[in-house]
């Protein structure tokens, strides 16, 4: 029996009917894919996560946790973990990335920032999530020399790089710890008619640095904004977070440094991930997003003296110029 036949058999059982329509909704960077199910003038999303490739349990656990804490994530209507099928409420097809304009950005980002604060206000003692510890941060950063420098650029990893990584890791570890979505950006936020945004793709959530999701949102690898707007939105987040006692005894200057360096860690990692998606997973479209991600790395590394070696090294790579 083909995978598609298995999907139909399961849906017919769950819905007690074959009178539905099944359409491809989207795929993502993993082995998961999504279908939109239309049934009795209502739509649902079917997640297809092949069990030999994907584990649905983290998604289920985190979805239920966030839903119970009034974070706007999909409600799980039905599940079969052995087969790797989940039936979810549908947030529609309006991703933030497609809805963001100079006119809509202030409103949409304010809503998204409010949701970050909601996530960060969730109690840590009621869910067992992995910690964004030194080992995990190092593993992520190691993707950069392995896949971006070696595989993509064919250049030798510079001797200073681990010292750079240590500064970034220590910056992450010194921050207050909260629930971190870990991929909170314009493709994973859906603009919904009510309680926008609808938040998806949260199955890799961890306990980690307070600045992480904000930098994922504001220094998004798929869309960029002027520094003046970023400063405005950072200040808005800072005020909202302080109201929830998330940043007690922290100055805006300290938080901005946390934000900048956390973004540098994330973007160095993402350069490696995008290269890996291309060379290992045959998903070349992510290479189109390398220039913006690289620009973030160059900009922040040029702002802080302790990263001048990284900034100079990247500026010297002639092969990088070709992808800009």
* Claim to verify: residue 75 and residue 100 sit in the same structural domain: no
* Claim to verify: residue 80 and residue 112 sit in the same structural domain: no
* Claim to verify: residue 291 and residue 254 sit in the same structural domain: yes
Q: What is the DSSP string of 15-67?
A: HT-S--EEEEEEE-SSS-EEEEEEETTEEEEEEE--TTT---HHHHHHHHHHH
How many residues make up the chain in this entry? 324
Domain C-terminal end among 89, 119, 153: 89
* Claim to verify: residue 81 and residue 220 sit in the same structural domain: no
Look at the chain and report how many structural domains it folds into: 2
Which CATH number fits the domain that encloses residue 37? 3.30.200.20
For 101, how many CA atoms within 13 A lie in the half-sphere containing its CB? 3
* Claim to verify: residue 43 and residue 69 sit in the same structural domain: yes
What is the residue range of 116's domain? 96-321
Domain C-terminal end among 56, 89, 122: 89
* pLDDT, position 1: 78
* Claim to verify: residue 7 and residue 68 sit in the same structural domain: yes
DSSP 131: B
DSSP 194: S
> Helical H runs in 193-226?
212-218
* Claim to verify: residue 37 and residue 171 sit in the same structural domain: no
* Claim to verify: residue 141 and residue 23 sit in the same structural domain: no
* Claim to verify: residue 76 and residue 214 sit in the same structural domain: no
* Claim to verify: residue 24 and residue 146 sit in the same structural domain: no
> Mean pLDDT in runs of 10 for the chain (324 residues)?
93 96 81 93 95 93 96 97 96 96 98 98 94 97 97 95 98 98 97 96 96 98 97 98 93 98 98 96 93 95 97 81 48
Tell me if 199 sits within 8 A of 113, measured CB to CB. no
For 191-213, give one letter per residue: b (16+ CB within 10 A) or e.
bbeeebbbbbbbbebbbbbbbbb
Domain C-terminal end among 54, 89, 124: 89
* pLDDT, position 150: 96
* pLDDT, position 26: 78
* Claim to verify: residue 40 and residue 101 sit in the same structural domain: no
* Claim to verify: residue 78 and residue 227 sit in the same structural domain: no
Cis amide bond preceding 197, omega within 30? yes
Strand stretches in the chain, DSSP E: 21-27, 33-39, 42-48, 76-80, 85-89, 177-180, 189-190, 198-199, 206-209
- pTM here is 0.93
Tell me if 184 sits within 8 A of 263, measured CB to CB. no
Which CATH number fits the domain that encloses residue 301? 3.90.1200.10
């Amino acid at each position: 029996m083909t995978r598609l036949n298995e999907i139909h058999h399961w849906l017919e059982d769950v819905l007690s009917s074959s009178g539905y329509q099944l359409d491809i909704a989207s795929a993502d960077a993993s082995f998961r894919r999504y279908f939109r199910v239309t049934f009795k003038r209502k739509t649902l999303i079917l997640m297809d996560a092949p069990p030999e490739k994907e584990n649905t349990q983290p998604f289920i656990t985190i979805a239920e946790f966030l839903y119970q804490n009034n974070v706007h994530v999909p409600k799980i209507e039905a599940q079969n973990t052995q087969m790797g099928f989940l039936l979810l409420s549908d947030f529609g097809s309006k991703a933030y990335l497609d809805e963001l304009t100079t006119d809509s950005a202030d409103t949409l980002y304010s809503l998204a920032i409010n949701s970050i604060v909601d996530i960060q206000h969730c109690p840590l003692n009621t869910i067992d999530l992995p910690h964004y510890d030194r080992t995990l941060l190092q593993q992520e950063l190691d993707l950069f020399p392995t896949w971006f420098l070696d595989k993509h650029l064919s250049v030798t990893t510079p001797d200073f790089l681990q010292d750079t990584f240590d500064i970034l890791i220590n910056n992450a570890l010194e921050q207050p710890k909260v629930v971190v979505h870990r991929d909170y950006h314009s493709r994973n936020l859906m603009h919904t008619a009510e309680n926008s945004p609808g938040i998806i793709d949260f199955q890799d959530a961890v306990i980690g640095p307070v600045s992480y999701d904000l930098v994922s949102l504001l220094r998004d690898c798929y869309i960029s904004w002027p520094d003046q707007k970023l400063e405005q939105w950072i200040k808005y987040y800072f005020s909202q977070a302080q109201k929830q006692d998330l940043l007690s005894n922290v100055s805006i200057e300290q938080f901005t440094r946390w934000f900048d360096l956390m973004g540098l860690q994330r973007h160095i990692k993402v350069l490696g991930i995008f290269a890996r998606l291309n060379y290992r997973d045959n998903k070349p479209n992510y290479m189109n997003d390398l220039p913006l991600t690289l620009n973030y790395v160059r900009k922040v590394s040029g702002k802080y003296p302790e990263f001048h070696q990284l900034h100079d090294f990247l500026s010297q790579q002639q092969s990088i110029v070709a992808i800009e």
